[in-house]
Structure 1
Amino acid sequence: MNKSAKGFRRAASMTAMTAVVMAVALTGCTKVDTIAPSSARKDAASVSVKSQGKLGTVDCRKAKCVALTFDAGPSENSPRLLDILKEEKVPATFFLLGKNHMAEHPELVKRMAAEGHEVASHTWSHKILTDITPEEAREELRKPNEAIEKLIGHKPTLMRPPQGRTNPDVNKISREEGLSEVLWSVTAKDYTTDDSDLIKKRVIDQTGRDGIILLHDIYKGTVPAVPGIIAELKKRGYVFVTVPQLLAPGKAEPGKVYRP
């Protein structure tokens, strides 16, 4: 089977896996508390400077910030996406899968880190963490941590649970593995359409200050929509940052769940 066919099969598989429950994805965390970026920034005032995150060149306490995030890569579409982000000088946060993704595209993981993007975990094989045993969930989180560390020299500090489904047990395991959980406020549902114009419209219509935008570069229509999304949001005064930059000077704490 050629690479194109393999990529299509994986995308189709991910679509089926994701679409079943994605419509209620954000309800998967109703039993746990979530922390808004603005709250993380505000709470930073009560902790030592040493414990605060790095502000970098953007202070989201003043700027109208938004975080562009991509799940389930890397894929054969990632090089074009990285080219676009580099050209537009836009940092992103990549929540990567291990099996059949990082394992097959290690050079793209290295490139993401080298070009200033935040490399994070989306588990090893996209198992729903609330539906498996604690031991299995720990393995789903530990394996990508180790793979990422081997590729870029340090473990991720952020993870996104598949379908946004989490609970106190997942929180506990995440804390023990040194991971904070990051959900989202904007979804284009790009697993349901290849229409790039529609994907762009959905993102633009939902985005507000401190928004965390969920996209998937594994789908055909997504990457072509990105230039238009960036252009329109810049026009509206938004500044693109990574998730850690969105929280700064607050800092994501392992075991906590972040969502606008």
Structure 2
Amino acid sequence: MSWNISRLRSRTAGALAAVASLGLVLSACTSYDTYSAADARSEAKGGVQVKAGMKAQAGPVDCEKVKCIALTFDAGPSEHTPRLLDILKKEKVPATFFLLGKNHVDRYPELVRRIADEGHEVANHTWSHRILTDRSSDEVREELSRTQDAIEKLTGKRPTLMRPPQGRTDNDVSDVSRELGLAQIMWSTTAKDYSTTDSALIEKRTLDQAGRDGIILLHDIYDGTVPAVPGIIEELKRRGYTFVTVPQLMAPGHAEPGKVYKP
């Protein structure tokens, strides 16, 4: 039995790595409007979101004045997530977790609850990591809503953020996301941790790209990633960064459903 589980995990990680390696190239094939965290903040301060009936709330810090950066983790939880949560708790760093439904949320329900209970943002990364732009609207809705339901059942809260696999989206995906109350969150920094188990390299790639209002993309399913996190946190704190969740990065605004946010 343990051999079968290991083989399944290996296949899942391998499949995710294969599609992720194409992500930046393929996502460039589709044109869509993008917005930034700064856009969300300025709209709220200008009253745009308030006029639309959206309540603007201040975050724990003002990211207009403070150097903020958001750690995000895709495709978990996994057997590596408990160690990651221990690190984040010790360092008092909040993160945003874009959770995968099949073989992850449904396999590690206690970790989903722990992520939420420890104050991290729980978000949606689809049910089975299918490329949404290759699917019908009904299939996109199924991929997202199934994960929404599973997370809500475990945490009592429906996610408001999602990250499309490979970062591939289009107008149809945006329409379904809007319908389900989900904003789409891209990234500014990727360590391509699916391609290496070298934690030092993952740390270097992350730090080389890190910037203010940045969103760091990592995966808590690969062997080399979690060991790189302490060094990433230590160095970014030394550089004066404050770690926030994605919603905190946008406060007092918030990510609007259907829109695509990219630093």
Determine the structure 2 residue equivalent to 1:8. 10
Match of 1:213 among 204, 216, 224: 216
Unaligned runs of 5+ in 2: none
Deviates more, 1:30-39 or 1:139-148: 30-39
Match of 1:191 among 191, 194, 205: 194
State how far apart, in whole Å, the 2-side matches of 1:25 and 1:184 are.
15
Count of residues in Structure 1 that have an aligned counterpart in Structure 2: 258
**Secondary structure at 2:195's aligned position in 1?**
coil
The question of whether the paired residues in 1 share the 8 Å contact of 2:60 and 2:248 is answered with no
Determine the structure 1 residue equivalent to 2:40. 40
Match of 1:174 among 173, 177, 197: 177
State how far apart, in whole Å, the 1-side matches of 2:194 and 2:150 are.
26
Match of 1:107 among 107, 110, 132: 110
Alpha-carbon deviation of 1:10?
Answer: 2.3
Q: How well do the aligned residues superpose, as a CA RMSD in angstroms?
A: 1.5
Determine the structure 2 residue equivalent to 1:27. 28
Alpha-carbon deviation of 1:32?
Answer: 1.2
Q: 2:38 corresponds to which letter in structure 1?
A: S
Determine the structure 2 residue equivalent to 1:67. 70
State how far apart, in whole Å, the 2-side matches of 1:82 and 1:106 are.
15
**Cα distance 1:67–1:25, how it changes in 2: closer, same or farther (>3 A)?**
farther
TM-score normalised by the chain length of structure 2: 0.94
The question of whether the paired residues in 2 share the 8 Å contact of 1:7 and 1:75 is answered with no
Cα displacement string for residues 37-79 of structure 1 (whole angstroms, at most 9, x for unaligned residues): 1111111122239724432321111110000000000001000
Match of 1:86 among 78, 81, 89: 89
TM-score normalised by the chain length of structure 1: 0.95
Match of 2:135 among 132, 155, 165: 132
Alpha-carbon deviation of 1:4?
Answer: 4.3
State how far apart, in whole Å, the 1-side matches of 2:75 and 2:99 are.
5
The question of whether the paired residues in 2 share the 8 Å contact of 1:185 and 1:213 is answered with yes
**Secondary structure at 1:212's aligned position in 2?**
strand
State how far apart, in whole Å, the 2-side matches of 1:84 and 1:25 are.
34
Structure 1 moving runs of 4+ over 6 Å: none
Q: 1:12 corresponds to which letter in structure 2?
A: G
Alpha-carbon deviation of 1:18?
Answer: 2.2
Alpha-carbon deviation of 1:106?
Answer: 0.5
The question of whether the paired residues in 2 share the 8 Å contact of 1:7 and 1:76 is answered with no
